[in-house]
Amino acid sequence: MGKKPKQLHVVFFPCMAHGHMIPILDIARLFIVRGVKTTIITTPVNLPIFTNALEHTKKAEEASMINFEIFKFPPNLLPDGCENLNQAVKLSTMRNFLMAVMMLNEQLEKFLEKTRPNCLVADMFLPWTTECAGKIKVPRLVFHGTSYFALCAEEIVRLYKPYKIVSTDEETIIIPSLAHEIKMSRLQISEYIMEEDTHFLNAVKAMKESELNSYGVIVNSFYDLEHDYADFFSKELGRRAWHIGPVSLYNTSIEDKAQRGGLQALKDEHECLTWLNSKQEKSVIYICFGSVAKLTASQLLEIAAGLEALEQDFIWVVKNEEDEKSQEWLPPGFEQIMEGKGLIVRGWAPQLLILEHKAIGAFVTHCGWNSILESISAGVPMVTWPGGAEQFYNEQLVTVVLKVGVPIGAKKWSYVPNADDFVKRDALIKALREVMEGNEAQERRNRAKMLKKMALKAVEKDGSSYSSLSALINELRNY
Ligand code: UDP
């Protein structure tokens, strides 16, 4: 009889933001399926995002095997109850948020000392965790929650500063060393990279250094999607990385898909799906800007005008809480006029279920990596409308490298995504017609379908992502 493999314990410490916690929960569950004990570290306000997501799962036994470790969030630096990066970005208190998070180091050290896990998977926003884990010789893996492409392009921009060659905002910058010709403007590059000596540039440096000193990087992507950049990341940038995605494909039941993110999607699920069931195949446009972006009321009014002028049906997700009450972000009577043609979801939408519905023809996305990968996994072409973070790089991946998206023409990066840019209705109408109609649209759709097949294959037994996770687990066993 063979020897029973050693039971591993992996601890996950995601940054408190939906775009990071959602994939980490999927990843923890993937480890559980492989027989690994898992613990997720979070704070009291963020705990329900995980527990609500698990409440109605069909895979209850697996879910019950996730342990949670609750750290007290340091008081005084942020308003009461503000324990999530999304709230901090909106309040422009990201600096305080990162400082508060750093103060969790003592709790982390105590916890690691007590439990002595085999590995710590900690978020890119928590660079200090490499040192905490190193003190007791626990390997730390970094989780960025973005594409290989964005990781490579941003690192090249940080190292070679191509934005210094141009003298105006309009001039084109070609990002050097990459396998594709990637053209951007200075305005599309994040300020935290360009404004030297700022707090954020130092924070980025700390993140990069901790990445180089850590055991490696876990990437929510799959090899065939961006092999040039997976190779570049390891061979040219010297990182060890394991690609184990798309992790959203772990969610196979309606309940898991609907509850992902833990924000009451279940009650909206039926409305969305019933509405979509009444629509023709590939006829509906889905519009959602993720969990952080906050569009101005004038931008929302402009979108509404564009949607009214279009022939296509749409589902539009809006999260502008205070504007919702006054409804000033909608033209008078908009919802009545649009009845049957458009559905507005206020708050959290069951995105996986919507994207996978056969009636969806295109996705207008802010280019958050989870959203892009979910669209790819569902075979849905995109209209790209980036606003902040690493989203302008993701746009290049979708439109130039993979050729499954049409850019809307967003011009300006900002700390609060989409806050400083304005896209006119004509640009929205043009991009949507381009993604929905004609031969090129059909070719784009075919490519998206092919990527979906590749994504499903990657996570199947012995697919590239499946094998990469097996390799990582074996390596940790032998560490
Ligand atoms: N999401 C969702 N419903 C919403 C908004 C977002 O389910 O109404 C999910 C989406 O499926 C994705 C995540 O939230 O998994 C957003 O992550 P992404 O990286 O796309 O953007 P971020 O919110 O980090 O900007």
Mark out the alpha helices in 327-362 (DSSP H runs).
Answer: 334-337, 351-356
Give the predicted TM-score (pTM) of the model: 0.96
342 Cβ closer than 6 Å to some ligand 1 atom = no
291 Cβ closer than 6 Å to some ligand 1 atom = yes
Residues 6+ apart with CB under 8 A from 353: 254, 257, 258, 269, 272, 273
Instruction: Please give the Cα distance from 98 to 88 (Å, whole number).
Output: 9
> Which residue is listed with tokens 């009444």?
278
Take residue 379 and report the two structure tokens written for it: 């075979």
Of residues 20, 243, 357, 366, which has the active-site annotation?
20
Range among 78-82, 286-290, 334-338 with highest mean pLDDT value:
286-290
Look at residue 165 in the predicted model and tell me its pLDDT: 92
Instruction: Please give the Cα distance from 191 to 189 (Å, whole number).
Output: 6
Whole-number Å distance, alpha carbon 160 to ligand 1 midpoint, is 31
Instruction: Please give the Cα distance from 71 to 111 (Å, whole number).
Output: 10
pLDDT in tens, 257-285: 988 887 665 566 678 899 999 999 999 99
Whole-number Å distance, alpha carbon 248 to ligand 1 midpoint, is 11
Instruction: Please give the Cα distance from 159 to 193 (Å, whole number).
Output: 10
Take residue 407 and report the two structure tokens written for it: 């850019």
376 Cβ closer than 6 Å to some ligand 1 atom = no
pLDDT in tens, 334-365: 989 999 999 999 888 999 999 999 999 999 99
371 Cβ closer than 6 Å to some ligand 1 atom = yes
Under 8 Å between Cβ of 444 and 404? yes
Residues 6+ apart with CB under 8 A from 222: 243, 245, 246, 454, 455, 458, 459, 463, 464, 465
Take residue 108 and report the two structure tokens written for it: 């982390």
> Which residue is listed with tokens 């340091």?
74
In CATH, the number for domain 9-249+459-477 is 3.40.50.2000
Question: Phi and psi dihedrals of 417, rounded to 5?
Answer: -50, 135
Closest Cα to atom 24 of ligand 1:
19
- 462 is a catalytic site residue: no
Containing 343, the helix (H) or strand (E) segment is strand 342-346
Residues 6+ apart with CB under 8 A from 378: 352, 355, 356, 360, 452
Q: Provide the mean pLDDT of the chain.
A: 92
What's the farthest any 2 CA atoms get from each other in the chain? 73
- Give the whole-number percent of the chain exceeding pLDDT 70: 95
Taking each helix axis from N to C end, the angle separating 369-378 and 439-459, rounded to the nearest 10 degrees, works out to: 100
- 199 is a catalytic site residue: no
Whole-number Å distance, alpha carbon 236 to ligand 1 midpoint, is 31
Q: Does the pLDDT at position 123 exceed 50?
A: yes
pLDDT in tens, 293-342: 878 899 999 999 999 999 899 999 998 665 445 557 888 889 899 999 99
Residues 6+ apart with CB under 8 A from 155: 208, 237
Whole-number Å distance, alpha carbon 209 to ligand 1 midpoint, is 28
Task: Ligand 1, residue 391: give the atom nearest the CA.
Answer: 25
**Superfamily of 252-456 according to CATH:** Glycogen Phosphorylase B; (3.40.50.2000)
Question: Phi and psi dihedrals of 216, rounded to 5?
Answer: 165, -165
351 Cβ closer than 6 Å to some ligand 1 atom = yes
What residue ranges do the domains of the chain occupy?
9-249+459-477, 252-456
286 Cβ closer than 6 Å to some ligand 1 atom = no
Under 8 Å between Cβ of 288 and 370? no
Assess whether the region 9-249+459-477 and the region 252-456 belong to the same CATH fold: yes
